[in-house]
A and B are shown apart, each in its own frame.
Chain A
Amino acid sequence: MDWQTLWFWLLGVLLAGYAILDGFDLGVAMLHFVGRDDKERRLILNSVGPLWDGNEVWLVTFGGALFAAFPEAYATAFSGFYLAFMLLLYCLIFRAISIEFRGKVKSANWRRIWDVGFCVSSSLAALLFGVAIGAAMTGVPLSQRGVFVGNFFHQISPYALTVGAMTMALLAMHGANYLYLKTEGELQARFKPWRWRTFFVFLALFLVVSVWTLATIDRATQNLKEYPWGWVVVVLNVLAIFNLPRGLYHKKPITAFVSSSCMIAAFVFLFGFTLWPNLVTSNPNPEHSLTIYNSSSSIGTLKLMTLVAVIGAPFILSYTAIMYWTFRGKVELDEHSY
């Protein structure tokens, strides 16, 4: 394995870590209005209160690592998808301040505004992530130099929007399973049907996206032919998808949550597997694509970054473990909650 491949994998790990962890708090926000009164919504918000900031660091680090390891891909993607990224930034800002500001003033109107801000900005962020993945799957027009030369409509194709909708459903389902674990009593009972509803919406969209992908994107199957072991992940993904309703039916909420986490990991993997060895695929001129080789930093820097990652990883895992351990168990309100 060469250094570029290693970093392609490591970026995949960061992206999967982000999607699983921030995935549930985006999903929680989408289901925010399942809570009927202020106390229920506070409980929902506080189920992710101490954790969302740490979860978002995975995205920040993913961005930094992409910049460092594959500066060409970082520059092309971020400048090419300019308006989408700006919109995403606005969403992330609004989400953060909604969480932060909601509980600061005791006024029903004030809280309602931030409730809406929390729900809408998180939903839109999830949609944008999905749209970005969809656009990356189909590819976008690049010049020979690897610079985006398309327009706004190359980024929001109907396919990309459908992938975006599927992402929203997937994360909402993930969030519902998380909330079921973190709440109790009446509120918990309210999430029970939502776990099924989000699952069926997701399942429907998943089937549509799968057929659409297989029918229109050649790259999707190309790597599976070349590296047949990729089928293992496809099968595991399908198993996880069926394991989730099994967990729900047998009243094993942890199984359900683990299944949705595994699904997200499998989707990130399959996304990377389809792209490989490209980072930004050029469509219609595939020879203009930015691959992991023509877009990477120097080997020296990749080695250096690997050392940084090796030193940093045990620390990151221990902070994460300490944080999740400290805030384990059902969510409760106290004077220090939001």
Chain B
Amino acid sequence: MDVLLLSRLQFALTIMFHYLFPPLTIGLGVVLVFLQAQWLWTKQEIYHNAARFWTRIFGLNFALGVVTGIVMEFEFGTNWAVYSRYVGDVFGSALAAEGIFAFFLESGFLAILLFGWNRVGPKMHFFATLMVCLGGIFSSIWIVVANSWQQTPAGFEIREHMVNGIAFPRAEITDFWAMVFNPSTIDRLIHVWLGAFILGAFFVMSISAWYLLKGRHLEFAKRSFTGALLLATVSSLAQLVSGHFQADSVAEHQPAKLAAFEGHFETSADATAYIFGWPDQEAREVKYGVGVPGLLSVLVGFDPDYVVQGLDDLEEDYGEPPVWLAFQAYHIMIAIGMMFIGSTLTASFFWWRGTLFEQRWLLWYFVFAVLPAFVANEAGWVAAEVGRQPWIVYPTIINGEVTGGLRTSEALSEAVKAEHVLTSIIGFGLIYSLLFVLWIFLLNRKIQHGPDPLGETKLETADLRDVASGRVDHAKSLTQDIKEPENNPDSPSTTQE
């Protein structure tokens, strides 16, 4: 096996595992701020309880996000040293800014959020929650800035740098704000945030729907579910708009990537947008494709006769990305997005009718819908990064001339051998598998435990109470018909929110 393939595999493995957590904690962070604000405002203990429950879940996910995130920072240097030398001036400063502006904020107030319940007042605790949420958002800003710069570089110049008499070209910042607000930053940032909100909301809905189906923690579950449903519906609809702008931006700045997304091998007017298909890169066609002819031209140029460049025209300058993977990831993401729009609108309709919690089939759907929400976030990452290949830093093409840019194959560490990378992949594979199993195991335990019952909590009695409440809930689930309480007109979930 060669170093290039192994290093790419390692990066994909470690970042995809890492990317399970940050969108989730960003989404959950918003939920926590909302719950704590509600508690401060209404003084209803149910919000306090809900905040405590989701904070415990948040803490577990956050810890895993932090440890898997450190790996990413190291890997730029360990596996992609030439890349680091080439982009350190630009990319490194965004990463350092992330540390200075986001990580310190996040970690300092995380301590107060997780451990400060009895040490600081409710207002300070709310402030800490807000800061942790903000820290996550700041963090995403800098990391998306750095990544967007790789996709659509701006505000830099390629200059010669001398090391011990040997010159080599590298990117240096000439305009900081142009670098930060490069052509794709804003679109991608909004897309990433909405993806995070959707994931956070579906995560909350999944657990709440399960409680509703099992007849446990009903009041808590209804409020959590409806709050999250609102967030999910709005975000899913907004994501459709954001996705469109995103695709337009790709069409303008990374035409080869768009061609890969759509399996558009030959330049043509009346270009097809596929619903699904099986692109064959060797035969240069999309097999078994079902699509709408002309739709791609309309989406990109607002005109069915608009000529969309195909890979045949682009590959000379840009090289050819792995079409199959980019195509499938892109289409999976869109298909899931559409499914979410449909399902959240359906659920909202039943909510409006006041019969949402009677639709057991819909609740079962929401129990499992968190999985596609994870998949959509991951697929978005795969589409963005694979579509960029064979470039690690995308080139700028002016009048048919390729300037700047760095090929992935040329970005590797010179000092690292294949067996080193293979060893480390095995290490990561083992550790991450263990982490994954433990994550699911502990998440399940926390969900089984559920929110604390209403009433004052004390350390000495906590264990006993947990057991007791578990029994009560279990008993309830056996005897109580789930449909009964929902018809109560006083139920806050149907009248409030």
Residue ranges of A at the interface with B (Cβ–Cβ < 8 Å) = 49-51, 53-54, 56-57, 59-61, 63-65, 67-72, 74-80, 82-83, 85-86, 89-90, 92-94, 96-97, 100-101, 104-106, 144-149, 287-288, 290, 294-295, 297-298, 300-301, 304-305, 308-309, 312, 315-316, 319-320, 322-323, 326-327, 333-337
Within the complex, the shortest CB–CB distance from B99 to chain A, in Å, comes to: 3
Q: Which residues of B contact A312 (CB under 8 A)?
A: 100-101, 104
Q: Which residues of A contact B163 (CB under 8 A)?
A: 72, 145-146, 290, 294-295
A300 with B93: CB separation less than 8 A: no
The verdict on A309 contacting B173 (CB below 8 Å), with A60-B70, A78-B78, A149-B415 known, is: no
How far apart sit A78 and B165, CA to CA, in the bound complex (Å)? 23
Looking at B115-123, B346-354, B367-375, the stretch in contact with chain A turns out to be: B115-123
B70 with A72: CB separation less than 8 A: no
B96 with A305: CB separation less than 8 A: yes
Q: Which residues of A contact B96 (CB under 8 A)?
A: 61, 64-65, 67-69, 305, 308
B73 with A335: CB separation less than 8 A: no
Within the complex, the shortest CB–CB distance from B76 to chain A, in Å, comes to: 7
Known interface pairs A75-B81, A101-B438, A327-B111; 10 further A-B residue pairs with C-beta atoms within 8 A, sorted by A's residue number: A53-B63, A57-B104, A64-B100, A71-B85, A86-B420, A89-B71, A298-B173, A312-B104, A327-B115, A335-B459
Q: Is B454 interfacial (CB 8 A cutoff)?
A: no
Q: Is B112 interfacial (CB 8 A cutoff)?
A: yes
B71 with A93: CB separation less than 8 A: yes
A50 with B66: CB separation less than 8 A: no
For chain B, the count of residues having a C-beta within 8 Å of the partner chain is 79
A85 with B73: CB separation less than 8 A: no
Residue ranges of B at the interface with A (Cβ–Cβ < 8 Å) = 59-60, 63-64, 66-71, 73-74, 76-79, 81-82, 84-85, 87-93, 95-101, 103-105, 107-112, 114-120, 159, 162-166, 170, 172-174, 176, 413-416, 420, 423-424, 427, 431, 435, 438, 442, 445, 457-459, 462-463
Within the complex, the shortest CB–CB distance from B22 to chain A, in Å, comes to: 14
How far apart sit A255 and B11, CA to CA, in the bound complex (Å)? 46
20 contacts between A and B (CB under 8 A): A64-B96, A64-B100, A68-B88, A68-B96, A72-B163, A74-B92, A75-B85, A75-B413, A76-B415, A78-B76, A82-B78, A82-B415, A93-B435, A288-B164, A297-B88, A298-B159, A300-B172, A312-B101, A322-B108, A336-B116
A83 with B423: CB separation less than 8 A: yes
The A-B contact count (CB < 8 A) is 246
B435 with A323: CB separation less than 8 A: no
Most buried by A among B68, B163, B423: B163
Q: Which residues of B contact A104 (CB under 8 A)?
A: 442, 445
How far apart sit A90 and B14, CA to CA, in the bound complex (Å)? 12
Q: Which residues of A contact B89 (CB under 8 A)?
A: 68, 71, 297-298, 301
A319 contacts which of B77, B88, B108, B164 (Cβ < 8 Å)? B108
Q: Which residues of A contact B66 (CB under 8 A)?
A: 53, 56, 96
Nearest chain B residue, comparing its CB with the CB of A287? B164
Q: Which residues of B contact A94 (CB under 8 A)?
A: 431
B92 with A67: CB separation less than 8 A: yes
Most buried by A among B89, B442, B462: B89
Nearest chain B residue, comparing its CB with the CB of A142? B164
The verdict on A85 contacting B438 (CB below 8 Å), with A61-B104, A297-B88, A312-B100 known, is: no
How far apart sit A67 and B96, CA to CA, in the bound complex (Å)? 8
Q: Which residues of B contact A327 (CB under 8 A)?
A: 111, 115-116, 119
Within the complex, the shortest CB–CB distance from A36 to chain B, in Å, comes to: 21
B74 with A89: CB separation less than 8 A: yes
Chain A interface, DSSP helix/strand/loop, else mixed: helix
Within the complex, the shortest CB–CB distance from B412 to chain A, in Å, comes to: 9
Within the complex, the shortest CB–CB distance from B251 to chain A, in Å, comes to: 32
B99 with A326: CB separation less than 8 A: no
Q: Which residues of B contact A77 (CB under 8 A)?
A: 77
A315 with B88: CB separation less than 8 A: no
A67 with B76: CB separation less than 8 A: yes
Nearest chain B residue, comparing its CB with the CB of A323? B108
B115 contacts which of A50, A101, A145, A287 (Cβ < 8 Å)? A50
Chain B interface, DSSP helix/strand/loop, else mixed: helix
Q: Which residues of B contact A323 (CB under 8 A)?
A: 108-109, 111-112
Most buried by A among B87, B105, B108: B108
The verdict on A67 contacting B77 (CB below 8 Å), with A320-B108, A336-B114 known, is: yes
Nearest chain A residue, comparing its CB with the CB of B457? A335
How far apart sit A335 and B76, CA to CA, in the bound complex (Å)? 40
Within the complex, the shortest CB–CB distance from A154 to chain B, in Å, comes to: 11
Within the complex, the shortest CB–CB distance from A242 to chain B, in Å, comes to: 35
Within the complex, the shortest CB–CB distance from B418 to chain A, in Å, comes to: 12
Q: Which residues of A contact B463 (CB under 8 A)?
A: 106
Most buried by B among A82, A94, A322: A82
How far apart sit A145 and B85, CA to CA, in the bound complex (Å)? 12
How far apart sit A229 and B381, CA to CA, in the bound complex (Å)? 53
Nearest chain A residue, comparing its CB with the CB of B55? A336
Within the complex, the shortest CB–CB distance from A90 to chain B, in Å, comes to: 6
B99 contacts which of A60, A86, A97 (Cβ < 8 Å)? A60
Nearest chain A residue, comparing its CB with the CB of B14? A89
Q: Which residues of B contact A75 (CB under 8 A)?
A: 77, 81-82, 84-85, 88, 413
A65 with B173: CB separation less than 8 A: no
A319 with B105: CB separation less than 8 A: yes
A49 with B115: CB separation less than 8 A: yes
A300 with B112: CB separation less than 8 A: no
Q: Which residues of A contact B77 (CB under 8 A)?
A: 63, 67, 74-75, 77-79, 85
Closest 3 A/B residue pairs (Cβ): A71-B88, A78-B77, A319-B108
A53 with B110: CB separation less than 8 A: yes
B112 with A297: CB separation less than 8 A: no
How far apart sit A86 and B69, CA to CA, in the bound complex (Å)? 14
Q: Which residues of B contact A106 (CB under 8 A)?
A: 463
How far apart sit A105 and B116, CA to CA, in the bound complex (Å)? 22
Nearest chain A residue, comparing its CB with the CB of B173? A301
B107 with A54: CB separation less than 8 A: yes
How far apart sit A286 and B85, CA to CA, in the bound complex (Å)? 21
B414 contacts which of A147, A290, A297 (Cβ < 8 Å)? A147
How far apart sit A59 and B81, CA to CA, in the bound complex (Å)? 19
A97 with B438: CB separation less than 8 A: yes
B435 with A301: CB separation less than 8 A: no
B108 contacts which of A54, A59, A294, A333 (Cβ < 8 Å)? A54
B119 with A326: CB separation less than 8 A: yes
Within the complex, the shortest CB–CB distance from A50 to chain B, in Å, comes to: 4
Most buried by A among B74, B78, B96, B112: B96
Within the complex, the shortest CB–CB distance from A253 to chain B, in Å, comes to: 23
How far apart sit A79 and B411, CA to CA, in the bound complex (Å)? 12
Within the complex, the shortest CB–CB distance from B133 to chain A, in Å, comes to: 15
How far apart sit A50 and B174, CA to CA, in the bound complex (Å)? 41
How far apart sit A319 and B102, CA to CA, in the bound complex (Å)? 11
Q: Which residues of A contact B423 (CB under 8 A)?
A: 83, 86
How far apart sit A71 and B411, CA to CA, in the bound complex (Å)? 14
A83 with B420: CB separation less than 8 A: yes
A86 contacts which of B103, B104, B424 (Cβ < 8 Å)? B424
Nearest chain A residue, comparing its CB with the CB of B159? A298
